[in-house]
Amino acid sequence: MMNRRMILKRVGQMLVLESILLMLPLIVSIIYREWSCVTSFSATIGVTAALGLLIVLFIKPANEVIYAREGFAIVASSWVFLSLFGALPFFISGEIPNYIDAVFETVSGFTTTGATLVADVEAMSHGMLFWRSFTHWIGGMGVLVLIMAIVPTDSGRSMHIMRAEMAGPVIGKLVPKIKDTAKILYILYLALTVLEFIFLLAGGMPLYDSAVHSLGTAGTGGFGIKADSFGSYSPYLQWVVIVFMYLFSLNFNLYYMLILKKFIPVIKNTELIVYTAVVFISTVIITCSIYPIYNDAHDSIRHSLFQVLSISSTSGFSSADFNTWPSIAKAVLFILMFIGGCAGSTAGGLKMIRVMLLSKTVRRDIGHMLHPRSVSAVKLDGKTVDQNTIQSVSAYFALYVFLIMTTFFFISFEPFDLETNFSAAVSCVNNVGPGFSIVGPMGSYAGYSDISTIVLTFAMLFGRLEIYPLLLALSPRSWFTRSNKRKFGKAN
């Protein structure tokens, strides 16, 4: 049977951590004297901390061994409760009066999607805007990875949690202990965030704006504080964000290798090379297509590169309304929505490494059809990819397409055009944020009904957790059948 007590204890730890993290937007609200927000955050902190502490103190599991099934359940349950309680400040303050809408906004934040139901974002308080962007930063690397980094645990038993929460088909340890791996990831994550904050301040961006946008870029989320997102900021500030959107869309393992001075493996990393090439080619195509609009080479390159990296990194910021761009430019951006960034980054999407493995598998299968007796292996970075990984990627892709189609079907009852609904489904599943037409960069998801809002909320969660954790957590068999411990085993 599923170790429910141990799962509940981990959820309790997550609630306690969330109550501590909520103190930052509380402090922001106090600084700006937004007393209704102070009340909202204080009430949420009290309720969340009380419930979390009760669970942690009084729930005593017989053992805390984490098998694959428990790892998936912990991640899925924690993210759901994280969002349900994280939505309370928006709802209690009345800034998002519908609780379903508040949950959507919170899930959009934690999953680093950046899709919003707020029609007038500039009317929101400083505290709530900070909390929106801070949810990006929390969810970017993963709240449970953060818990592993700061809470004393048996690190050998936590690998299944990291595999369930981190993005990519294969998750490995940087160092022997998983706790130390989590610490390294968060140190790198924090360092890059602070570095961007400094560069934004140096460009004349106000302190508050710099903090909010650094958090949003780090999580590749995209919640802005202005109606035009990044359109009214200077070219310098846009270039800073361009650089960091690229950096945060890369595999964080590469940064650790650079620290260890292993430069050759980084330079020769196939995923890095292919992702950079895709960004470059996409930028060239879009630059050529929008040049007649801006009639300026610098502006055309800047806007095209900004949007290419915003969409491919799934950050969701915008420097211009790409809804008005030529069809070829929008087509390129639409394709990038599916691809996303690199595995092991804070970006969403299918991930470049999966696209590469799928294309290599198709090429191998075509070769085998032409030469039935030939034996060839799928290789990546000079290493043979095992068949289990290839099968896992193929199965994930099938579920991924099914999820998009299902989401699109259920929201198609809305009275919107096909471009709006389909791009909304693709955007939410891939955690991109903006779509096209009504849900474009200057629009919002405010027109959707409560039912469609719930569907899109689950689509974002499925996309961020890469389907399996939430799918297995929703399956009765996961909770009411005996686990095969020989099959799942303990993480080493």
Contact in structure between 148 and 253 (CB atoms under 8 Å): no
User: What's the pLDDT at 444?
Assistant: 92
**Helices 68-86 & 4-21, crossing angle to 10 degrees?**
40
User: What's the pLDDT at 41?
Assistant: 98
Q: Is 416 a residue whose pLDDT tops 50?
A: yes
User: What's the pLDDT at 491?
Assistant: 38
Dihedral of alpha carbons 132, 140, 332, 448, sign: negative
Q: pLDDT band at residue 489, thresholds of 50, 70 and 90?
A: very low
Q: pLDDT band at residue 155, thresholds of 50, 70 and 90?
A: very low
User: What's the pLDDT at 377?
Assistant: 80
pLDDT tens readout for residues 12-39:
989 999 999 999 999 999 999 999 999 9
Residue 12: alpha-carbon gap to chain centroid: 23
Of the candidates 123, 113, 88, 114, the one whose C-alpha atom is nearest the C-alpha of residue 102 is: 88
Q: Locate tokens 């990006």: which residue?
A: 136
Q: pLDDT band at residue 492, thresholds of 50, 70 and 90?
A: very low
User: What's the pLDDT at 487?
Assistant: 39
Residue 197 backbone phi and psi in degrees, to 5: -55, -45
Q: Could you count the other beta carbons within 10 Å of the beta carbon of residue 191?
A: 11
Of the candidates 146, 143, 153, 142, the one whose C-alpha atom is nearest the C-alpha of residue 177 is: 153
What integer is the mean pLDDT of 56-62? 84
User: What's the pLDDT at 189?
Assistant: 93
Residue 46: alpha-carbon gap to chain centroid: 28
User: What's the pLDDT at 168?
Assistant: 57
User: What percent of the chain is modeled with pLDDT above 70?
Assistant: 89
Helix, strand and coil in the chain, % to nearest 5: 70, 0, 30
Top mean pLDDT of 172-186, 269-283, 386-400 is at: 269-283
User: How far is it, in rounded angstroms, from Cα 287 to Cα 280?
Assistant: 10
Q: Which two tokens stand for residue 118?
A: 């707020």
User: How far is it, in rounded angstroms, from Cα 292 to Cα 407?
Assistant: 36
pLDDT tens readout for residues 324-362:
999 999 999 999 999 999 988 989 999 999 999 999 999
User: What's the pLDDT at 160?
Assistant: 55
Q: Locate tokens 């030529």: which residue?
A: 326
Tell me 437's DSSP state.
G
Where is 380: in which H helix or E strand? strand 379-380
User: What's the pLDDT at 123?
Assistant: 93
Tell me 385's DSSP state.
P
User: What does each C-alpha distance from 98 to 102, 463, 481 come to in angstroms?
Assistant: 6, 24, 38
Q: pLDDT band at residue 173, thresholds of 50, 70 and 90?
A: low
Q: Is 437 a residue whose pLDDT tops 70?
A: yes
pLDDT tens readout for residues 233-284:
999 999 999 999 999 999 998 998 999 899 998 999 999 999 999 999 999 9
Q: Could you count the other beta carbons within 10 Å of the beta carbon of residue 319?
A: 25
Tell me 79's DSSP state.
H
What integer is the mean pLDDT of 461-483? 79
User: How far is it, in rounded angstroms, from Cα 102 to Cα 80?
Assistant: 13
User: How far is it, in rounded angstroms, from Cα 436 to Cα 414?
Assistant: 15
Q: How far apart are the first and last CA of the chain?
A: 22
Q: Is 166 a residue whose pLDDT tops 70?
A: no
Which range, of 160-164, 337-341, 385-389, 434-438, averages the lowest pLDDT? 160-164
Tell me 384's DSSP state.
E
Q: Is 406 a residue whose pLDDT tops 90?
A: yes
Between 166 and 322, whose confidence is greater? 322
User: What's the pLDDT at 439?
Assistant: 94
Question: Diameter of the chain by CA atoms?
Answer: 74
User: How far is it, in rounded angstroms, from Cα 226 to Cα 8?
Assistant: 39
What integer is the mean pLDDT of 290-319? 95
What integer is the mean pLDDT of 56-75? 79
C-alpha gyration radius of the chain? 22
User: How far is it, in rounded angstroms, from Cα 444 to Cα 448?
Assistant: 9
User: How far is it, in rounded angstroms, from Cα 313 to Cα 352?
Assistant: 11
**Helices 23-31 & 35-58, crossing angle to 10 degrees?**
160
Mean pLDDT over each residue of the chain, to the nearest integer: 89
Secondary structure class of 383 (helix, strand, coil):
strand
pLDDT tens readout for residues 196-244:
999 999 999 999 999 999 999 999 998 989 989 999 999 999 999 999 9
What integer is the mean pLDDT of 403-409? 97
